[in-house]
Chain A
Amino acid sequence: MFIEGKNLVKKYGKGDATVWALNHADFQIGKGEIAVILGPSGSGKSTLLNILGGLDTADEGSITVDGEKLSDMSQKALEKYRRNDLGFVFQSYNLTPDLTALENVEMTAELTADPLNTAELMEKLGLGDHLHHFPKELSGGQQQRVAIARAMVKKPKLLLCDELTGALDSKSSKEVLQLIEQVNRDYGTTIVIITHNELIAGMADRVLRIKDGKVVSDTVNNAKIKAEEMEL
């Protein structure tokens, strides 16, 4: 499998106050899949995302991405992993306010030796008319498109999306999810979406449900629907 988490444990606090953010969690995600991780607040999905993104480490267990064991990596190696293999999309976009849409994407493109053509990518993602707009001149949906372009320009193996539609209206959410599908289709990128919105699960190849730090279900979605058909 492309991603394999085994027996992952992450604890906060000590003694009686110990919180098990991840409690022996196991999961797998295949290459090129769109995986949706669902769970209520405090279920451990954010912790899982942090570990998957190399932002945090597990106390126990192991996690492997494309054969590379993250749990054995040094901070330097993790930095390289985030730089070369990973794309990240945030709920609140986190674009650099002093740079235009194009420049935000270019800034990340400059990190890698062989990035996608920035202008072409943005055109493809429907941002052709907004290349020289600053973030504050764009709508939430447009900003999230820029954020996806920024993540994709370095051709990541894995795209992590943290509540990517959380700040958007339903129309914009749908457009952004369609974009995710497009990216998955065009570039074969493995995509992990963390959300508490059950409806998004419809577009996933795989749905992981987390509760109290455990993966309570891991199902392959045989009834996958397109994002444009979803009722958000």
Chain B
Amino acid sequence: MKTLNKRIKRNIKNNLSFYLISTILTMLISAFIVAAASTGNTLTDLIQDYMKRLKVENAEFSTYKTIPDDEITRLEKEYDVLLEENSYKDIKEGEKTLRVFNNHTKVNLSETRDGIEPIGFLEVTITENYAKENGISVNDVYSFDGMEFIVTGYTTKGDYLFMLKDAGDMFRDNVNFGIINVTAETYDRIDAEEKTFYAVIYNRQDNELNFRKKVNADYIMKSYIAKESNPRISSPESEGEGVSGMAKKLSPILFIIVIALVVMVLGRMIRSEQTLLGTFMALGVTRSEIIRHYVIYGIIPGIAGSVLGLGLSVPFTKAFSAFYIENDYEKLIYETEYNIPACLVALILPSLLYVLTVLIVSRKLLKASAIELLNNTGKDTKTINILKERRIRTGLKLKVRSIVGHPGRSAVTVLGVMIASILLLLGFVMKTLMTDMVENGIKETIGYEYLYYLNYLGDMDTIPEGSEGASPVLTVYYEIPSSTNQVNIWGVDKSSEYFKMKTMDGEDVDLNGYYITNVASNVWKVKKGDTLTFYSIADLSEHSVEISGIIDDNMHTYMYTSIENASRLAGFDGVHYNAMVSGTSIPISADIVASTVVMSEHSALFEELMGPIDAVVYIIIVFGALLCIFIMYLVINMIVGESKTGISVMKVLGFSKKEIGSRVLDVNMILVIIGFLVGIPLTFKVAEVGFADTIEEFGIYFKAELNLRTAVGLLIGFVIIFIAYEISLLLQKRKIAKINMVEALKENRRNE
């Protein structure tokens, strides 16, 4: 056995391409699965720990009547909650807004880094991202709105990890929005409107409903936002879960398909040695000795790939974690955590599967007699009669039969290309879906450019001055049972020119009915004709409406109806509005406007938000392209390896390199095309799995469908696949050139 095992070193040398590529593939995919799972762990644990430490709210609400301090204490005891009145003041300079807090003590705490807490007048701690974007450092004096603030340190506030100005916003803006913590004296002396709300932590979740009913009964609930509906809190919480989810769903698929490919090529490599197996048997080497010898063939790429992969997963995890944490949120101090089950899977599974393959293949081969093995009768070749008596060039016949007559090899080739295509196209499809969303998502159904949220409830009989050409709307949020996404019901003036919408079935929207957006339909799994039940956030009253149709909007969880229906659902007497929409800017008084949304700016912000995701997609594209080249090389290498004798005979017969390439290698182009085409629908499926979480977490539905843009992405993908194929061929053509013509004669002499 010792002598027998000496050939392993030589086998590695002879099959260097296979060992190298299978080790690299195992390494990359092991590193990826460990890094994805570990990044998910790191994010989840970091955010959970952070939320707990800074006592982040479970919900925030406002009431029409103020809750007295002694009543807060009584409610805390009776309902086992932590309840604190939170307040802030917004100070503005140009487009910039600084939100001023005086440290809370029970809920939504802050922490200070790189400095000290403010103790003197106008001393502040400031959020670091805003500071960086505006060139502010600790100990600087920062002039804002006529005040000279002294920066004593950086701060992170528990409920502002994801820095949205309004909870209803989708996008953060670190340039124009920041937070400062000040002393009570400074806070009191800042001349700006104070906004107050109550922040609550439920120590017992089953008390939530009774608590809300009690507050509503005694103080009349004006608004209520559960943390799941507050993206400042839900976004970081769900990001860890999202990455973990992606790691759990996507990486096992990629892992299994890549490992499966190596397994298949390894199996074929062992099978190609059957003459040698027969020789060993004839020489009296026992079956178990032969199997033990070949097991090493599987262990080498398995262990080498896994160990290198684990090593590579360390920088990968650090990079992934840094990417998510440092791009999306206020600065957090963290250490990367490693997902032990993923490490074990990456360490053990490849070797286990490779060894199992060798065991299965060699045991199956060794069931044959030594004579059968020596005669090489178990080859993966079938006699194919197609085109037998057709008068076409033999080169073409050879190509067709080479594909059909070697079903195993063809299947591995198609599967390999399919896997490479999925890995490559995944990034392109994700990229095109996102670009499509940025460019069309927001504007798909929205015909207005300006949206003015008013700070009062208007009566339809009295439209505000300066709003000629604008349309009044009533937008009210409602809770959906067991969903973190709230539905925003838009009551629209039937005569408005901005809402001439059509359903996805092509029907005109009749605003007497209730129409939900496509993303809402997907989130709550309701279709036309179904009933959607929702609750008023204030008084928890239940409403049910029948869905009249679906509108093609993949970004907003909206329901459209008439302003009359919306007013009735909200329990108003008469018809009311709380916002105005218009195609152009209108000279409406700033005193009555709570906030303004310009849709084109919204798109730009969305594009900015997509920036980090964009980078992930580019990583996926590069990673996919790399794997694609390796897989293509592995497959082509397998074909050349299996065709060595044929190539050598062709050389002796006088075929040129080009003719040999055409007959032996170019034939695979059709398999490449088939593999690529099969890979397309699967890529869409995998992309859907990858984006599935965005529906529930962000209320955005990435519709994976073939359109002009995705078609361009697919075309680019095909070009890369084709280039990878050609590069592999080029490298293999050098290998073909090296195949010795004496090989064909050796076959003779071996049988002498």
| B is bound to A | yes
Assess A88 versus B748: contact at CB under 8 Å? Given A56-B742, A103-B397, A136-B383: no
CA distance A92 to B652 in the complex (A): 14
- CB-defined interface of A157-174 with B at 8 Å, one 1/0 digit per residue? 000001100110000000
Assess A110 versus B742: contact at CB under 8 Å? Given A90-B747, A92-B747, A162-B748: no
Q: Which residues of B contact A79 (CB under 8 A)?
A: 654, 656
30 contacts between A and B (CB under 8 A): A50-B741, A50-B742, A53-B741, A55-B741, A56-B742, A79-B654, A82-B651, A82-B652, A82-B654, A90-B744, A90-B747, A90-B748, A91-B752, A94-B649, A94-B747, A96-B398, A98-B398, A99-B394, A99-B398, A99-B401, A104-B394, A107-B394, A107-B395, A110-B395, A111-B655, A150-B653, A162-B745, A163-B749, A166-B748, A167-B751
Tell me the residues in window 61-116 of chain A with beta carbons closer than 8 Å to chain B beta carbons: 79-84, 86, 88, 90-92, 94, 96-100, 103-104, 106-108, 110-111
Q: Is A221 interfacial (CB-CB < 8 Å)?
A: no
B682 to chain A, nearest CB (A): 30
Do B397 and A91 touch (CB < 8 A)? no
Q: Which residues of A contact B360 (CB under 8 A)?
A: none
Tell me the residues in window 9-55 of chain A with beta carbons closer than 8 Å to chain B beta carbons: 41, 46, 49-50, 53, 55
Assess A41 versus B752: contact at CB under 8 Å? Given A50-B742, A82-B652, A86-B654: yes
Do A98 and B655 touch (CB < 8 A)? no
Do B745 and A46 touch (CB < 8 A)? yes
Q: Whose C-beta in chain B lies nearest to the C-beta of A49?
A: B745
Interface size class of A (residues with CB under 8 A): 35 or more
CA distance A110 to B398 in the complex (A): 13
Do B398 and A88 touch (CB < 8 A)? no
Partner of B652, one of A88, A96, A104: A88
A43 to chain B, nearest CB (A): 13
CA distance A202 to B563 in the complex (A): 111
A11 to chain B, nearest CB (A): 16
B657 to chain A, nearest CB (A): 8
Q: Is A120 interfacial (CB-CB < 8 Å)?
A: no
Q: Is B611 interfacial (CB-CB < 8 Å)?
A: no
Q: Top 9 A-B pairs ranked by shortest CB distance?
A: A83-B654, A91-B748, A98-B401, A82-B654, A107-B394, A55-B741, A94-B649, A103-B394, A106-B394
- Most B CB within 10 A of own CB, among A46, A80, A81, A150: A46
Q: Whose C-beta in chain B lies nearest to the C-beta of A41?
A: B752
Tell me the residues in window 699-752 of chain B with beta carbons closer than 8 Å to chain A beta carbons: 741-742, 744-745, 747-749, 751-752
Do B402 and A110 touch (CB < 8 A)? no
CA distance A154 to B646 in the complex (A): 19
Q: Which residues of B contact A224 (CB under 8 A)?
A: none
CA distance A219 to B742 in the complex (A): 28
Q: Is B389 interfacial (CB-CB < 8 Å)?
A: yes
Tell me the residues in window 641-662 of chain B with beta carbons closer than 8 Å to chain A beta carbons: 645-646, 649, 651-656, 659
CA distance A25 to B752 in the complex (A): 24
Do B652 and A55 touch (CB < 8 A)? yes
A115 to chain B, nearest CB (A): 12
B649 to chain A, nearest CB (A): 4
Q: Whose C-beta in chain A lies nearest to the C-beta of B747?
A: A92
Q: Which residues of B contact A96 (CB under 8 A)?
A: 398, 646, 649
Q: Is B384 interfacial (CB-CB < 8 Å)?
A: yes
Q: Is A134 interfacial (CB-CB < 8 Å)?
A: yes
Q: Which residues of B contact A83 (CB under 8 A)?
A: 653-656
Q: Is B496 interfacial (CB-CB < 8 Å)?
A: no
CA distance A80 to B653 in the complex (A): 10
Q: Is A6 interfacial (CB-CB < 8 Å)?
A: no
CA distance A97 to B395 in the complex (A): 13
CA distance A82 to B654 in the complex (A): 5
Q: Whose C-beta in chain A lies nearest to the C-beta of B653?
A: A108
Q: Which residues of A contact B742 (CB under 8 A)?
A: 50, 55-56
Partner of A91, one of B646, B649, B751: B751
Q: Is B381 interfacial (CB-CB < 8 Å)?
A: yes
Q: Which residues of A contact B654 (CB under 8 A)?
A: 79-84, 86, 111
Q: Is B393 interfacial (CB-CB < 8 Å)?
A: yes
A169 to chain B, nearest CB (A): 15
Task: Please give the number of chain B residues whose Cβ is less than 8 angstroms from any Cβ of chain A in the complex.
Answer: 32
Q: Is B583 interfacial (CB-CB < 8 Å)?
A: no
Q: Which residues of A contact B381 (CB under 8 A)?
A: 97-98
Q: Whose C-beta in chain B lies nearest to the C-beta of A82?
A: B654
Q: Which residues of A contact B393 (CB under 8 A)?
A: 110
Do B405 and A98 touch (CB < 8 A)? yes
Q: Is A137 interfacial (CB-CB < 8 Å)?
A: yes
Q: Is B388 interfacial (CB-CB < 8 Å)?
A: yes
CA distance A108 to B384 in the complex (A): 20
Q: Which residues of B contact A100 (CB under 8 A)?
A: 388
- CB-defined interface of B383-425 with A at 8 Å, one 1/0 digit per residue? 1100011000111011001100100000000000000000000
Do B652 and A137 touch (CB < 8 A)? no
Q: Which residues of A contact B384 (CB under 8 A)?
A: 98
Q: Whose C-beta in chain A lies nearest to the C-beta of B659?
A: A111
A121 to chain B, nearest CB (A): 15
Q: Which residues of B contact A88 (CB under 8 A)?
A: 652-653
CA distance A96 to B400 in the complex (A): 13
Partner of A90, one of B389, B397, B649, B656: B649
With A55-B741, A80-B654, A97-B405 given, name 14 new contacts (CB 8 A): A55-B742, A56-B742, A81-B654, A82-B651, A84-B654, A90-B649, A99-B397, A132-B388, A132-B389, A134-B383, A136-B383, A162-B745, A166-B748, A167-B751
Q: Whose C-beta in chain B lies nearest to the C-beta of A75?
A: B737
CA distance A202 to B381 in the complex (A): 40
Tell me the residues in window 605-654 of chain B with beta carbons closer than 8 Å to chain A beta carbons: 645-646, 649, 651-654
CA distance A132 to B130 in the complex (A): 81
A203 to chain B, nearest CB (A): 21
Q: Which residues of B contact A82 (CB under 8 A)?
A: 651-654
Q: Which residues of A contact B747 (CB under 8 A)?
A: 90, 92, 94
CA distance A56 to B398 in the complex (A): 28
CA distance A55 to B742 in the complex (A): 7
CA distance A80 to B749 in the complex (A): 26
Q: Which residues of A contact B651 (CB under 8 A)?
A: 82
A19 to chain B, nearest CB (A): 15
Q: Whose C-beta in chain A lies nearest to the C-beta of B399?
A: A98
Q: Which residues of B contact A91 (CB under 8 A)?
A: 748-749, 751-752
Do A46 and B749 touch (CB < 8 A)? yes
Q: Which residues of A contact B741 (CB under 8 A)?
A: 50, 53, 55
CA distance A31 to B751 in the complex (A): 32
- Most A CB within 10 A of own CB, among B384, B646, B653, B656: B653
A175 to chain B, nearest CB (A): 19
Q: Which residues of B contact A41 (CB under 8 A)?
A: 752
CA distance A104 to B398 in the complex (A): 10
B571 to chain A, nearest CB (A): 79
CA distance A136 to B389 in the complex (A): 18
Q: Which residues of B contact A94 (CB under 8 A)?
A: 645, 649, 744, 747
Q: Whose C-beta in chain A lies nearest to the C-beta of B385?
A: A134
Do B398 and A163 touch (CB < 8 A)? no
CA distance A96 to B398 in the complex (A): 9
Q: Whose C-beta in chain A lies nearest to the C-beta of B649?
A: A94
CA distance A94 to B651 in the complex (A): 12
CA distance A166 to B745 in the complex (A): 13
A42 to chain B, nearest CB (A): 11
Q: Which residues of A contact B659 (CB under 8 A)?
A: 111
Q: Which residues of B contact A97 (CB under 8 A)?
A: 381, 383, 405
Tell me the residues in window 341-397 of chain B with beta carbons closer than 8 Å to chain A beta carbons: 381, 383-384, 388-389, 393-395, 397
Do B395 and A137 touch (CB < 8 A)? no
Do A92 and B751 touch (CB < 8 A)? yes
Q: Whose C-beta in chain A lies nearest to the C-beta of B751?
A: A92
Q: Whose C-beta in chain A lies nearest to the C-beta of B383?
A: A134
CA distance A49 to B394 in the complex (A): 29
Q: Which residues of A contact B401 (CB under 8 A)?
A: 98-99
B741 to chain A, nearest CB (A): 4
CA distance A107 to B401 in the complex (A): 14
CA distance A162 to B741 in the complex (A): 14
A70 to chain B, nearest CB (A): 14
